[in-house]
Structure 1
Amino acid sequence: MTTNQGKKAVIILSGGLDSTTCMGIAQAEGYELYPITFDYGQRHKIELENARQVAAHYGVADRHKVIQLGFLKEFGGSALTDESLEVPDMTKPKPEQASSADGAQESEVPITYVPGRNLLFLSIATSYAEVTEAEVIYIGVNALDYSGYPDCRPEFIRKVEEVMALATRVGVEGGPIRIATPLSEWTKAEIIREGMKLNVPYHLTTSCYNGQEEACGVCDSCRLRLKGFAEAGSQDPIAYK
């Protein structure tokens, strides 16, 4: 991997598998780590403690910022922020997808999508990066496993980078902050294999949308994680119901 000794990276750290893998990759590439986590009233609030443990594992607890964005819970509109909406159980049959007038199936954004979340996260991470003089922001978006999320697409990331270059001092001075999405085109198994090579502490992470001490094993995120570990030929180190 490329060495970047003395350079800094902001990592959007949720406490989940993907963002923690980004921590491992950024460290392996030689960056000083500056993690940032967002408390947005998520149902799976347990991930905040996981993020703190991950930051401590990498020796950067003193740089770890936890930012309050509780208004996202007030807005609702997602099963992750609105308790009246259920997180889908992926072991149950799905209802038939709606079709348009010409019979074509309409694309469906999952109910676990949080409106504007990654746009907000990247905006605030940009502020942290500019203040700390970090040259890059790592975010664990994945266009394969989460193709239904509009704010995980590569074209979204490219457009945000363009705005960052226009909206920051470092951008107009010719040194724009980059967004690194190393996991974007990897399968979950490929992510896990890479993380295991880098000794990423997966035992400190959680992926469950239901936010229980023991992962539910039936939500979309749990199922993808379990499938990834199985395909990687490894045992998931966290507890499941």
Structure 2
Amino acid sequence: MQTNQAKRAVIILSGGLDSTTCMGIAQAEGYDLFPITFDYGQRHKVELENARQVAAHYGVADRHKVISLGFLKEFGGSALTDESIDVPDMTKEQDKSESEVPVTYVPGRNLLFLSIATSYAEVTGAEAVYIGVNALDYSGYPDCRPEFIHKVEEVMALATRVGVEGVPMRIETPLSEWTKAQIIREGMRLNVPYHLTTSCYNGQKEACGVCDSCRLRLKGFAEAGEKDPIPYI
């Protein structure tokens, strides 16, 4: 790890509400920000431009890395990477049980994200990797659970030079136990630029308002007593 420097953190930045809130929290906690964004062939590519705008807002556009993981689109298996699988309309009655993993789950996504972010963190001398996973409003994704994060953190300690030298990096999940309303309230307190974010899985300039991600976002703003600043169809 480098010495005589401000503490540093890598932020996995999608351009969405949760990851942008992580940017605000990490900044408030005194970290120099090193955002990293992944282009994995997602149908909502508009979020990549949102991530660039968020990085610019925080004055770290020069450090912002956008990494191509296009093979995830080639693999498919998710409504977010395979155009033949429809993004569910959550305003219609859904048959999916609460224990069933939704079709918007992207196999291996967060495992890959955290592995690559760990590499960026070690090179830049960062002591933490922030990721906006949530164990409450997490849509049933297995790679958002605390058990998953803890196991990856254990692997990071074994697989990195800083880890074997006794100063392992941490995975910070500040939103893990918060409702969407709590996340939004904290973001508003920190002046997080929600107007620059998107949450819509359908990837339109105006959010659809009916996919699972839009519904969670709208519900969160309503419960927080705030107005969502982005446009909806």
* TM-score over 0.5 (shorter chain): yes
Query: 1:44 deviation in Å?
Result: 0.2
Alpha-carbon separation, structure 1, partners of 2:81 and 2:96 = 25
Tell me which of 115, 131, 143 is aligned to 1:151.
143
What is the number of equivalent residue pairs in this alignment?
Answer: 229
Q: Letter of the aligned partner of 2:138 in structure 1?
A: Y
Alpha-carbon separation, structure 1, partners of 2:14 and 2:38 = 7
Alpha-carbon separation, structure 2, partners of 1:96 and 1:231 = 25
Query: 1:94 deviation in Å?
Result: 1.0
Tell me which of 171, 177, 186 is aligned to 1:194.
186
Unaligned runs of 5+ in 1: 98-105
Residue matched to 2:11: 11
Instruction: Report the 3-state secondary structure (helix = DSSP H, G, I; strand = E; otherwise coil) of the residue aligned with 1:155.
Output: helix
For the 8 Å contact 1:34–1:63, the answer to whether it is kept is yes
Alpha-carbon separation, structure 2, partners of 1:218 and 1:50 = 20
Instruction: Report the 3-state secondary structure (helix = DSSP H, G, I; strand = E; otherwise coil) of the residue aligned with 2:118.
Output: helix
Residue matched to 1:80: 80
Q: Write the mapping of 1:201-212 to structure 2, written as runs, cut at 5 A.
A: 201-212=193-204
**Range with greater deviation from structure 2 (222-231 or 143-152):** 143-152
For the 8 Å contact 1:147–1:153, the answer to whether it is kept is no
- TM value normalised by structure 2: 0.97
Residues 130-153 of structure 1 show CA distances to partners (whole Å, capped at 9, x for unaligned) of 000000000000010115110000
For the 8 Å contact 2:139–2:212, the answer to whether it is kept is no
Alpha-carbon separation, structure 1, partners of 2:131 and 2:64 = 15
4+ long deviations beyond 3 Å: none
Q: Write the mapping of 1:37-186 to structure 2, written as runs, cut at 5 A.
A: 37-95=37-95, 97=97, 107-146=99-138, 148-186=140-178
Instruction: Report the 3-state secondary structure (helix = DSSP H, G, I; strand = E; otherwise coil) of the residue aligned with 2:178.
Output: coil
For the 8 Å contact 2:23–2:33, the answer to whether it is kept is yes
Query: 1:107 deviation in Å?
Result: 2.3
Unaligned runs of 5+ in 2: none
Identity %: 88
Instruction: Report the 3-state secondary structure (helix = DSSP H, G, I; strand = E; otherwise coil) of the residue aligned with 1:47.
Output: helix
The RMSD of aligned alpha carbons is: 1.0
Residues 23-48 of structure 1 show CA distances to partners (whole Å, capped at 9, x for unaligned) of 00000000000000000000100000
